[in-house]
Amino acid sequence: MTNFLPLVEQFHSLQGEGYHAGKSAFFVRLAGCKVGCSWCDTKHSWDEKKYPSISIKKIIDKIKIARKEGASFCVITGGEPLQHNLDNFCKSIKQMTMGAKQNSMKIHIETSGVNSISGTYDWITLSPKRHSPPKNYFLRNSNEIKIIINEKEDIEFAIQIKKEISKQFRLSKIENSLTKEDKIYYLQPGWNNANGFSLAIDFVKNNPDWNLSLQTHKYLKIK
């Protein structure tokens, strides 16, 4: 049972990306990532040895404060948060934020999908990477797919991912297992990447199943 997690930072802000962009959220950024994307904007979070292990109770104490101040959900991010077993963390969030007059805090996770699932979530954002493809669990069970676009090969990867998700859905019907079919698909241009912006915009204009996601928090200059 994991009672301590390597914490980079936690803060109350607005979700800047994807389906929930613009909503009040509390972010918990965990340290550690072996995926190693060259264009990553949180490379400082990769080495978990640089960060203190904090008790999940202390982390949740801050979540509870943020909820009172208006945060509508908690986003667990990284790094790659699923490098850690989050079963106890998620269970404790649900238990410790349940009140007599309100339901427990909703939990979102942002993951590349390379690790096995742990924890339970109200929303899963899958951001798969070309050099380290996600496990089938996330293709089947994610709520939204967000692919970062820097070059043409990323567009091709996005097309492949959507085809693979359709394949997984067909297989799940044969196996009588549960799969979320109604996923929301996003292309997100790499920050300050003119080529990525052009490619993503042109593709979305011509492919109505896809949406454009922007890092609105960076334009607003907030965390």
pTM metric for this prediction: 0.94
pLDDT in tens, the chain (223 residues): 789 999 999 999 999 999 999 999 999 999 999 999 988 989 999 999 999 999 999 999 999 999 999 999 999 999 999 999 999 999 999 999 998 678 999 999 999 999 999 999 999 999 999 999 999 999 999 999 999 999 999 999 999 999 999 988 887 766 555 455 579 999 999 999 999 999 999 999 999 999 999 999 999 999 8
Strand partners, 13: 25
The DSSP bridge pattern shows strands 106-111 and 144-149 to be: unpaired
Per DSSP bridges, beta strands 144-149 and 210-212 are unpaired
Q: Write b or e for each residue in 169-199: b if 16 or more Cβ atoms lie within 10 A of its Cβ, otherwise e.
A: eeebeeeeeebeeebbbbbbbbeebeebbeb
For the chain, domains (ranges, CATH) are 4-220 (3.20.20.70)
Q: Among 105, 49, 100, 54, which residue's Cα sits nearest to residue 79?
A: 49
